[in-house]
A and B are shown apart, each in its own frame.
Chain A
Amino acid sequence: MHYRYFPGCTLKTQAKEMEDTALAAASALGIELQELPEWQCCGAVFPLSDDELITLLSPVRTLAAAGGEPLVSLCAACHHVLKRAQEVIKRNPDTREKVTDFLEVDYAGEGRVLHFLEVLRDDLGFDRLKEQVSHPLAGRKIAAYYGCLLLRPAKEMQFDDPENPTIMEDLLRSLGAEVVSTAYRTECCGAYLSVTEEKVATATAEKIVHSARRAGAEALITACPLCRYNLENIGGPALPVYYFSELLAEALGVAALKEVARG
């Protein structure tokens, strides 16, 4: 189980604990995540206009660097941009030619682009993961929060059912936690609106957190640093928001290795 690993800018800064806990859990599970020797920011948002080629350069450079081996990322936004960039390269020969000529790389869309959750579900398997859980999160009522970028557009991301995903719930169950489900788990958290339209972002995030709290959740998990920031940056009683990897590491008993200062 060897993968090339793309961390993304935020995982080296504000979301350091996501990377540390994920890498610790991965090695405990015998999954080798070999960081790309050289990488840049994935671009955070996927360019939605066909004449925006410059913004494809960075993700395609990363895809080419993986050299056709399976490429794993932890952050939902990075996985979203990389996967859709690969899809464009596969589907649009004209764009491929322009971008790969400019980058002077030979890349035609080969290799699997995976999120770490997909590795756990499809390659490792949640049942084998359950066997390695030493500290089950017994009695912990956790709600899974997916957001947008992992699920949509479903035809390209092929991650899970966009309206009724189960991958995070299945992970939580294999970690022994008690799963709480809210219909807001696939609603947008407000994303980059928190920079310029903070009130709008806070309103959407509040709906999600309050619904989880009403459903009895004690904490939320997510796979996206921006979702976590928005879900914590709300008025009224908040809920702790963990990265899924933090609970994973805790259940595997490797979390205590490094006490992380929680904001």
Chain B
Amino acid sequence: MKKNALVSILAILLACCVVMGCASALADSQKQRTLTVFNWFDYIDEDVIKMFEQETGIKVTYTNFTTNEEMFVKLEKSAGSYDVIFPSDYIIERMIKEDMLEELDMSKIPNAANLIDWCKSPDYDPEGKYSVAYMWGTVGILYDPDQVDGEIDSWGALFDPQYKYGVFMLDSIRDSFGVCLRYLGYSLNDHSEEALDAVKDLLIQQKNDNIVAGYLVDETKDKMVAGEAAMAVMWSGDAMYAIEENENLRYVIPKEGSNIWIDGMCVLKNSQHKDEAMEFINFLCRPDIAAMNQEYISYCSPIQQVVDGYDEEQLNQPALNPSAETMENCEFFHDITEFMELYESRWMEVRA
């Protein structure tokens, strides 16, 4: 009897599969419009996706990545899987070079006109043909004033041995190297062996001095909120999020200068759903949607109407609205793929 029951359970499960298979086949035959979005982890208000699906009837598969490098690998190795992607500036530069991106049909993205000016024609995509900015931000230090001496204004704090296990570094090659390069007075895009060796020594010294609490990416913001460490290298938006959760925390872009970046939205050349993709990009550029996203993920939106809506407190927040001179002191990453091996081998030495 029991045996029969289990057999019938199996049979039911099998039947479910068949039905499911049919259903999906049916859906395909009805030309259900679909779209696969490949975005950073925790980088959109999920409600926005639901709204998009409701408004357009397009079924969105939403999937995410943690670093630009991971995204690039997955794009390259699983061609045809994705439609809309959200790469950062230097990766866009690389993808344009490698002819991976579809030229955008701006007539389908009228809302791109809402972009603030300096985001309309960034130097990685001077004519704005391949990408529309989604968010921008900076890299700085998020710190807990209770756990540090006075105010922090230099990258040097990251290497101060008094902060025992007090510093979270970013597990992201270019960000971690970039921070050090600026601290040592080099350009963010320097790839001379001399500069990179100096960075490597600095990072190894930092590790050996037991300053590093960990090399993490997304988890740092929560850890900072919980007071797990004195400071962390952090992207401005994550810092904003953390500050909203724990008002005590402060974000600073050190005086040595830092990285400013833009994450764009692009459509892949091998995408099967280009129209849907552009529709999605246009949707995200709608001021009300952009505001929702800005609210949710706390990064700086490049949409003019969103910026206009900032209140006093937001305007005074360096993570959201850095001063003009600070921005002047910041630099974009550029594509240096051919030199990445120099970075990687040194990074592995640091991490090993």
Q: Do A and B come from one complex?
A: no
